Each structure stands twice: as structure tokens, then as C-alpha cells.
Amino acid sequence: MRITDIRERTVPLDGNIANALISFAEHTVSMVAVVTDEMRNGKPVVGYAFDSIGRFAQGGILRERILLRLRSAKPASLLTPDGKRFDPAKVLATAMRNEKPGGHGDRAAAAGAVELAFWDLNAKLDDEPAYATIARHHGRPAVAASADVYAAGGYYYPPGSTQTLHDELASYRDLGFDAFKMKIGGASLSHDLARIEEALSVAGSGEHLAVDANGRFGLDEAMSYVEAISPYALRWFEEVGDPLDFDLNRRVAEAYAGPIATGENLFSVPDVTNLVRFGGMRRGRDLFQMDPGLAYGLTEYVRMLTVLEQHGFNRAQAYPHGGHLINLHVAVGLGLGGCEAYPGVFQPFGGYPAGCALGGGKVRPTDAPGFGLEEKPELRQVIAELRC
Amino acid sequence: MRITDIRERTVPLDGNIANALISFAEHTVSMVAVVTDEMRNGKPVVGYAFDSIGRFAQGGILRERILLRLRSAKPASLLTPDGKRFDPAKVLATAMRNEKPGGHGDRAAAAGAVELAFWDLNAKLDDEPAYATIARHHGRPAVAASADVYAAGGYYYPPGSTQTLHDELASYRDLGFDAFKMKIGGASLSHDLARIEEALSVAGSGEHLAVDANGRFGLDEAMSYVEAISPYALRWFEEVGDPLDFDLNRRVAEAYAGPIATGENLFSVPDVTNLVRFGGMRRGRDLFQMDPGLAYGLTEYVRMLTVLEQHGFNRAQAYPHGGHLINLHVAVGLGLGGCEAYPGVFQPFGGYPAGCALGGGKVRPTDAPGFGLEEKPELRQVIAELRC
């Protein structure tokens, strides 16, 4: 068995929305296809994945570094000892050959897209959903399960806009969500408090509503928000300060009784280890949101989970950032706390196809082989282009 | 005054050498040219820079993100208030528009190459060497000075090779160097100790010889080397463990009496702040080797120096990684401890042109405008290609 081609394509994201810090209008995603010489129903088995939502496509790093290394690798060097499946850890090591330590940024997303495509591929070789392949590989029962999911959104609307934050969250509730996340930090504290009250009128109570500052706050502003939002007993307070400001994170954790959440902008085991060592994260309470597609893929993500568990955290505290099918399979396969969803935005990648039966705040992968990306109508065109 | 074009080109590095962890044979560099509508001697003023040695060119990130933002910026938005010079901090902010916090890897090198080209440009607009522009901009006297420099190399040679470590360092000594750096960690401890003794036969004493593990060691191996090399009282012990393993760095600093050095693989203020907070670096002793070209350029580098000085470190403890003309001007302009040199390797970027008058372990920038890259014969071809 060998790879006959690896293709990549840059796909723009639909939707012109802004969080506290960043406009997503420019953001792009790298979609990767790994084509093999294994045939099923007369067609070659192809593994697909992408590098997740929220940063950028990595065509340059893929074409100039990572895909060159994989194309020049001996076919057997990427396989399990029996030669029947690909070994994602070997794929990652090959993809990273001659890369220096440190500097875990864009290349982590490039490598993540590629490594995840091999999980899609392995699952298709076994004609099973990816969560089952992931579970078995990690010594877990390969059983169908739902994942806890929440609707991330809660954007800013100008006064007098025809849409309101209330309407937005109500539309998610009507889809079957019972937990929500909204942006804060893009307006004054008093305006944000009014928005939280507006959101609570849909969410019902604080335990159904998380807030996300997208890394915006310095220490003083963080502490003002800590004091002001504490009475709401919110689901969690996300990315309070710069993702690498572990000292700020520790101080917030010491001052804020409710859960805090961070990690979506940490892309390596060394960075997550520093969060655990220095960031004051609390066992059984705070949440880790690392995203495999942005962080070298599932192999590195599982190493991160190991670091967490070695430090006394539980994998129920892991809620990957992203809001798409790949991380749904990861969450089910690894038995994580849950995952994100972005209803209606970040197309063609965001959200879940109809078969995933969203309801009661849970979503369930279908039995489609691999990550089931082929079931998502919005992805059909890009998959068709990559297949040719 | 406005930019008429920004060009970039990927340039391979000469030389097929390996350190403890990485082969440099694949490494590439991004060279950038910023063309303006200002004329000198009938030709447009062009700023050149590159993203430093030792990682990779960043053509994808430059073409798909950073250069698009700069090209679409209003010309005045990149200038000083009087409109007469470019403002590198504004250039950097524009280059980074809509980039998220965290993930300081490849994009930091892409942004670094661009930001540094604007320093070359500003210096040429004033018809002065870049060290003078850099010094004046930061409130320092713009005086010609030499920088302390050391020869980095000390590679591994197979037994019976026609070249030896002794010969290599002796050739640097004959060029005018009196301090040397050699690789360790690519062989057994006993073999490395024999190599250190061989190197000392040229260096004379430990204060003239540094060792570089290139981030290779885990804690146990680090401690074995700490114990074994302590008697040599070496110049410094560089990048002992993973550049982000601040806990290991602290333990080594507690156990090793001599100077340690690190930072060449930290690419942002938040990462350097974590090194200072958690890494156990010692005031007046240890060395910081962050490299502007890999780390968003001079604007971010000066912010890093501010963090160091706020924590009681002295800028004499800063020795940028790199070994090329750009960092020589940075070291002289900012009054740093010194800088690196790679005699004869990493062409066309490494080393200094003849006019820089290497001698007595010091090197001095010429009076050529900007970074003086045009004086380096090895760069003539790539500069000519970018100029067209």
C-alpha cells in the first residue's frame, strides 16, 4: 500500500463576522487529500482533512516542506509494521523532518491537516467511522456515542441592527442547542454586561452560557470582568488574556471561582505543558480547548492529553476548539468532555450534517466511513475538485 | 512617499552540514525587497532584508497574507507623522492585521523579513548605515563601533575525515576570531568531552569556547553534561533543552555555575516573557539569543529588550542568533553584548564582507547605507534579481 498523491487546496471561509480582536473575513483553511493505491468499489481510497477554522491555510508550508518530505518517503516507512494501515505518528515524524524545536505556529496547522487526513484514510480502509478507529487505536471501546456540544457565536450587532444577540441565540436554541457561547471584550464592560443579560434571557441560566474574550484582556481589565461577571455563575470564561500569558491565567484562576477555558491558541505539547505548569489551571474545573487540526494533528493532541492526565486533569476537561466533524469524531473517539459548534457560520467547514441528529445539546457522528466529510453538502465541491 | 512594489524570493542555503538535531541541507531563506518611489541618483530607493538563517523561507505566508495587507494599506498609514520616513511599528501592525494571538512560528519570520527591510530603507533614505538609524530611533548615540563576535561552527566530522574540529576552529582563529562555539549532543558524552578538549587546544581556555546542544537534551542528559563540562568553565552552554521547556532551563541554571544561553527559538514577546518569568535566567550572567529576523523584526526585538531590562537584565546579555550583517547592525545600533558569526557557511547570507575588518574577536559595520547587503558579493545575484 502506498500514497499515489497528496493534494492541498486553500478554501476561503464564508461569513463576514468579527470577534473581539479579529475579523474572520480573510481567514482561509487548507483542505488536504491523500490518495492511495488501495481500491474500494473500483475507486482509490482517499483520506481528507483540513486544518480547522479560525486561522489560515498553509499552502506554502505544505507545498515547500511537508508534502515534499512525505512524497520522498519510502512507502513502507509510513505504515504500521504489518503494512496494512498508515501510522499517523510516522507520518507526522516524516512531515516534520529537519524542522527545529520551538516556533509552533503555522507549520503546526499544515502538519495537522495532513496527519488528520491519515486518520480519515485509516478509518476508510476499515470501512468504519473515524471515532471507532481513533478509539480502538487508543485502547478505548469503539462505541457510538453523542458528544456534548455548545453553540459558539454571540457576536456584536450594531444598535438598531435587524438581528440581535437574543435572536441569534434563540435560533441556535431552535436548532437543538442548550448551551451557548458569546463574545465579550469588544465593547465596554457595561455594554458587555447588558449583552450577557440579553443572552441569559435565552440561555436561562449562567450554566448554559459561556463568554469568550478571545485573548483580549490585560490583567486590570481581566480583573474588572472577573468581578463583574462572577455573580452570573457562567458556564466558563474563555481566553481571558494572551494565550501565552500563563501568569495572567494563573491570577485569573486564583480570583475567579467559575471555570476558565483556554488552549485553542496553543499548538504543541511544550506550550500545553507550560500552561499546566504555570497557568494555574484547576483540576476538575477548568477547560482545555486545544484543536488537533491547528496543532500537528491527533498524534500530538493525544500527547497533550497525556500531559494533562499526568498532571491530574481529566479528559472530560478537554473541549476542542473548532466546531466541525473532525473534532466531533475526536471528542467521541477519545471520550472528551465535548466539542464546539458554530451553527451556520464558517462554511463550508463549520457545523454538522443533518444525519448527526443534533438535539438536547448533543450531537452524534453518523456511521459514514472516516470523518464523514463527504456527507456535508457544503464540502462537496472542494472534495470533488481534490478528487480529480 | 509610497511603496511601489514589495518582492520576495526564496533562496536556498549553501552547505550540507548538521547540528545535533537538524540537517541544514533543506533550509531556505526569504529575501524581501521593498521598492519606493523615492529616487536617489536616478534610481528608486529599495530596502532589502531577509528572515535570518536556520529555519525556512516563508513565501506562502508573505504572498498570501503579509504582502497583501501591506499592498492594500494607504501609503500614509505606513509613514512617520511628518511623512518623510517609514514607521516600522506601523508596518508590522499592518502586516499582522487579523492575525490571532499565539502561534509565534513561521509567520514571525515572514513579518521579520519585511519589517527589517523597512529599517534598511529608512537608513538609505538618510544615506547612513542602519546601525546609526537604529541607534537614533532608540535615543542612543549613532556612533560607529565594533561588536563582539564569535565563530559558530564546531560541527561533527566522521573519524578519519580529512578535516577535523581542530582544523575548523584553527581556520576561524586565522580569520581573526578569538571565541568559538561548537556543537554537542550529537554523539556520546565521552566523545563530546574529547571534542571539547580538541576544541580547547585551539581556543586556549574555556572562556573562549561555548557549546551548543541545539535543544536536544532531556533533563537527565542535561544534568550529565552539566556535571561533566562544569570543570572546563566554558564561555556558555547553549540551548540545553527544548526552547520552550522553561522548567528544564531553570533546573539547569540552578545546577550549572557557568553562563547558559537560549532564545534563538523564541519568536515573540510573550514567549520571552515566559522565559524570564519561569526559566531561571540569571541577571548579569546568562545570555539571550533572540533573532529579530525570525521574530517579527526589530520592533518586536526592542520590546523583548524592554522586557529583559524591566526584569533586571542588561542588554549586554543579548547576543542575537544569526551571524549576518543585519544582526551586526542591530547589535551595534542597540549596544548589545555582541553577535554570532558563521564563517564560510550559510552562504549567501552568513558572514561579513571584507570591509567589516574582522580582528581581535570584533567586527565593525562599514559606512555603506542600510545594512550594506549590497557589499556582500555572495548576495549580488539575488539582489539583482529582486531589483528587476
Average pLDDT over residues A280-307: 98
What b/e readout covers A23-50, taking b as 16+ CB neighbours within 10 angstroms? Answer: ebebbbbbbbbbbbebeeeeeebbbbbb
Closest Cβ opposite residue A65 in set B23, B56, B270: B56
Average pLDDT over residues A306-313: 98
Cβ neighbours for B313, distance < 8 A, ≥ 6 positions apart: B276, B281, B283, B284, B288
Q: Exposure of A213 by Cβ count < 10 A (0-12 exposed, 13-18 middle, 19+ buried)?
A: buried
CA distance B53 to B11: 11
Judged by CB atoms closer than 8 Å, whether chains meet at B106 and A106 is answered as yes
pLDDT at residue B23, as a whole number: 63
Judged by CB atoms closer than 8 Å, whether chains meet at B105 and A101 is answered as no
Question: Mean pLDDT for chain A?
Answer: 95
In order, the DSSP letters of A331-374 are HHHHT-S-EEE-TT-STTTSB--GGG--BTTEE---S-SBT-GG
B211: three-class secondary structure by DSSP: strand
Judged by CB atoms closer than 8 Å, whether chains meet at B244 and A274 is answered as yes
How do beta strands B28-40 and B43-50 pair? Answer: antiparallel
**Which residue's entry shows cell 586565522?**
B174
Residue B265: list chain A partners with CB under 8 A: 100-103
The reported pTM is 0.96
Residue A273: list chain B partners with CB under 8 A: 244-245
The ipTM assigned to this model is 0.96
When pLDDT is cut at 50, 70 and 90, the band that residue A27 belongs to is confident
pLDDT digits (tens, 9 = 90+) for A184-198: 999 999 999 999 999
Chain centroid offset of residue B52 CA? 6
Chain centroid offset of residue B301 CA? 11
- Among A100, A102, A95, residue whose Cα is nearest residue B56: A100
Average pLDDT over residues A302-307: 98
Which amino acid type is present at position A321?
H
Is residue B104 annotated as a catalytic residue, yes or no?
no
Is residue A321 annotated as a catalytic residue, yes or no?
yes
Residue B99: list chain A partners with CB under 8 A: 22
pLDDT digits (tens, 9 = 90+) for B279-321: 999 999 999 999 999 999 999 999 999 999 999 999 999 999 9
Is B300:B292 a contact under the CB 8 Å cutoff?
A: yes
Is B123:B332 a contact under the CB 8 Å cutoff?
A: no
pLDDT at residue B15, as a whole number: 62
Q: Exposure of A232 by Cβ count < 10 A (0-12 exposed, 13-18 middle, 19+ buried)?
A: buried
- The kind and range of the H/E element at B262 are strand B260-262
Judged by CB atoms closer than 8 Å, whether chains meet at A100 and B54 is answered as yes
**Which residue's entry shows cell 494607504?**
B74
Least-confidence region, from A36-40, B16-20, B59-63:
B16-20
Catalytic residue among B137, B183, B324, B376: B183
Instruction: State the cell numbers at B90.
Output: 506601523
Average pLDDT over residues A378-388: 93
When pLDDT is cut at 50, 70 and 90, the band that residue A15 belongs to is low
pLDDT at residue A13, as a whole number: 86
pLDDT digits (tens, 9 = 90+) for B91-125: 999 999 999 999 999 999 999 999 999 999 999 99
A279: three-class secondary structure by DSSP: coil
Question: Mean pLDDT for chain B?
Answer: 95
pLDDT at residue B269, as a whole number: 98
